[in-house]
Structure 1
Amino acid sequence: MSIPRIRLGQRGRAVAVLVVLLAVGITPLVALPAVRCELFGSGCPTPVRAAKADPAEAPERRALTPLEAATQGTYVALGDSYSSGLGAEATVADQNPLERCQRTSRAYYHQVARSFPFKASAFWACSGATTRQVITGKSGEPPQLDRIDANTSLITISIGGNDVGFSRVLAGCVIKLPWARACSEQGRDVATRMAELRRSLPDLYTRITAKAPRARVIVMGYPRAFSEVDGASGDNISVADQRWLNARARELNEVIRETVAEADERVAATRGAGSVEFADAYSTFAGHEVGSAEPYMNGLAISVSSLAAEPRSFHPTVKGHEALARLFTEQIRKGPGRPLQQYR
């Protein structure tokens, strides 16, 4: 009788060999883990996972310099007549009566925009603007606040003078009419408006930094109009009144300086990427005040028809805006005096 031949597959033959080897007491190779894994799919070693990279060994991010932070996006100039360029008219177009915001070709904005490699720049300052009108709009234009966004890396602004009514105060000092009050008698009204400005500026800065969180916001103070050394007489204003007006300008600058410092502290405390900085312009026109040989500030210009001071009165000249441009460019390079939370 013939014995049937059993066909074994590869794994079957391996099992048969294993049985024989076990029977004669020889340890088979399949007892080794690698063989068991290959033949039976069991006993395979658990794959070793790659170790996670140590964060300490990751390349460090480099903090941006103040100049890099300011120029990585767009530059937008906001504010009132001291930023729009009223008083620095140099061309026929600058005197266009249809230009309701009185933006001129020699305003400091133009020199600042040319001095650095911004991706883009825009000029939206508007003569006569108050803190509220930066938010709501003026002269039929959209709100200046709407001109900035997350891509804005630098904002320059002058604001607050119209809230305090500085033009009216100056007019009251220089236009002596029979029914006009003395210059210094306006002090109580100025103090009231100064206190209101102290409350409104923080809200404006908060809105600006919320719209442009990475921007360096440089807020300009106001230059004094009159010398504190010579007290040159002129423009129908006494030396005593000149000094009184300078003192009010200094008070206005202190309100702006304090609110700027507080705004920047809030940004830093929340680790915000931007900053709020003060550019002190009070002495920028030193030696070139009204009444000097080469004034950087326009003196009094009277409109005969209305017996009122013309708008350009006591506003910076072309030379004045060149001096303000130097003030801003210096601050842009210098920075806020603290680290910015911006990296590359």
Structure 2
Amino acid sequence: MAGPGTWPARVRARVGDRGLAVALLLVLLAAAIVPLVALPAVRCEVFGAGCRAPLPGVQARAAARDHGEALTPVQIATRGAYAALGDSYSAGVGAEEGLADQNPLSKCDRTSRAYYHTVAKTFSFAGGSSFWACSGATTADIRDGKSGEPSQLSRLSEGTSLVTISVGGNDIGFAKIMAGCVVKLPWSKGCEKQGGDIADRMAALRESLPQLISKVTARAPGARVLVMGYPRPFSEISVTGGDNLTLDDQRWLNGRARDLNELIRQAVAEADQHIVAAHGQGSVEFVDAYNAFSGHEAGSSDPYMNGLSVNLGALAAEPRSYHPTAKGQDALARLFVDQIDKGPGRPLGQPS
């Protein structure tokens, strides 16, 4: 036992038994709390100040890394930024909604009903999202810029985790092909006589599209790149009033859309194989939209595709002709959302 001159005895003499008990309790509590408060999560919970919850993508990535697990397709797509690139089908031409989509300062015709907006709202992207698709863009325009805007490729970086894009229709001259079918004059080629010109442009696209995809994946090496095909415009069941197209014309035009989609599909598959062979982190995935408007083609009772609209003053077709309506853009959005959820059908890279 401690004698009267020991430390406990001296303290007891000064504060009494009850005071000593309180002092010892405070010492024990301090010993237990201080190490815990040093941990950030506990510090946030106890004091509720100076703390910020990690972004969902960062949090999921850290958890997967700690457990040695691969990220899910959605986690891969949302851990960084989303960039929407492409041509008029991605810009939303044909789905304009009132004055909100009348922007004279931009010649790219991006609209408020483009599928981009649904994708951006459906998922939480840790790095945010941005919309750069431009009406009339070719593979060269996406690479170099168009309508006074810089290269769409310049919008990508190592922090980009999702890219959506449609491209190729302008490279093969879709508008020119349609005009050749619709305008039946003695000196016009009609539909089928355009075959040679289309073949030449398709051959050029077989070179330019893989090159473009390669540049996209080089600038955003960890991204999932979703490349959309084009929807079939016609039902091949009935003649659409006012567009001067026969059923044979419809079948021929649908066939060219199918050929274009197959070219895009092959380019996408080859690009993804290159990523796998190089043990890359991202992916290139084809979004098959060919049958997206089945039962809702141009001229149907509930069309997802605009029919022919003519500007009589300029004697020219309106840009919205044979482009998706607002409902068509909604249908395309569902395809993208499903693909983001589903993934490329192969394992994606491990978290780094």
- TM score, norm. by length of structure 1: 0.81
Identity among equivalent pairs (%): 63
> Are residues 94 and 177 of structure 1, via their aligned partners in 2, closer, same or farther at CA, if it must alter by over 3 Å?
farther
SS at match of 2:136: coil
Question: Which residues of 2 match residues 97-136 of structure 1 at below 5 A?
Answer: 97-119=104-126, 120-136=128-144
2:181 to 170, 173, 176: 173
Alignment partner, residue 62 of structure 2: none
From 305, 315, 332, the counterpart of 2:313: 305
Q: Deviations over 1:273-329 (max 9, x none)?
A: 000000000000000001110000010011112222111100000000000000000
In the other structure, the counterpart of 1:318 is 326
Deviation string 1:220-278 (CA, Å, 9 cap, x unpaired) is 000010014x2433311111000000000000000000000000000010000000000
RMSD: 1.4
* Cα contact 1:224–1:289 (8 A) shared by 2: yes
Segment drifting more, 239-248 vs 334-343: 334-343
State the alpha-carbon separation in 2 of the partners of residues 117 and 164 from structure 1. Answer: 36
Cα pair 1:91 1:105 within 8 Å, conserved:
no
Confirm or deny that 1:190 pairs with 2:198: yes
Alignment of 1:201-216 (within 5 A): 201-216=209-224
Match of 2:340 in 1: 332
Which structure dedicates a bigger proportion of its chain to helix? 2
Aligned counterparts, 1:68-107, within 5 A:
68-107=75-114
Give the equivalent residue in structure 2 for 1:274: 282
Q: Give the whole-Å Cα distance in 2 for the aligned partners of 1:197 and 1:302.
A: 29
Q: 1:129 to 1:200 in 2, by over 3 A?
A: same
Instruction: Find the counterpart in structure 2 of residue 61 from structure 1.
Output: 68
Q: Which runs of 4+ in 1 moved over 2 A?
A: 95-99, 175-179, 231-234
The equivalent of 2:159 in structure 1 is 151
Residue 265 of structure 1 is aligned with which of 273, 277, 282? Answer: 273
**Amino acid paired to 2:124:** P
Distance in 2 (alpha carbons) for counterparts of 1:312 and 1:265: 36
CA displacement at 1:60 relative to structure 2: 5.4
Q: Distance in 2 between matches of 1:87 and 1:175?
A: 21
Contact preservation (8 Å) 1:223, 1:282: yes
> Residues of 1 paired with 2:182 and 2:302: CA distance?
21
Q: What residue ranges of structure 1 are gaps of 5+ in the alignment?
A: 1-57
For structure 2, the 5+ residue unaligned runs are: 1-64
| Deviation string, structure 1 residues 98-135 (Cα, Å, up to 9, x no partner) | 32000000000000000001120000000000001111
1:92 is paired with a residue whose SS is helix
Q: What is residue 231 of structure 2 aligned with on the other side? A: 223
Q: Deviations over 1:47-105 (max 9, x none)?
A: xxxxxxxxxxx975110011110011111000000000010000213133432000000
- SS of 1:203 mapped into structure 2: helix
Aligned pair 1:247/2:276, yes or no?
no
Classify 1:273/1:225 alpha carbon distance in 2 versus 1 (closer, same or farther; 3 Å). Answer: same
- How big is the shift at 1:178? 3.9
Q: Larger radius of gyration, structure 1 or 2?
A: 1
1:231–1:243 Cα change, 3 Å: farther
Secondary structure of 1:331's aligned partner: helix
The answer to whether the 8 Å contact 1:157/1:220 transfers is yes
In structure 2, do the counterparts of structure 1 residues 231 and 195 end up closer, same or farther at CA, with 3 Å as the change threshold? farther
Q: Which moved more, 1:231-240 or 1:190-199?
A: 231-240
Match of 2:207 among 196, 199, 204: 199
Equivalenced residue count is 286
What is the aligned partner in structure 1 of residue 244 from structure 2?
Answer: 236
Contact 2:268 2:284 in 1 (8 A): yes
Equivalent residues in 2 for 1:5-44, closer than 5 Å: none
Looking at structure 1, the residues matched to 79 and 66 of structure 2 have their Cα atoms a distance apart, in angstroms, of 22
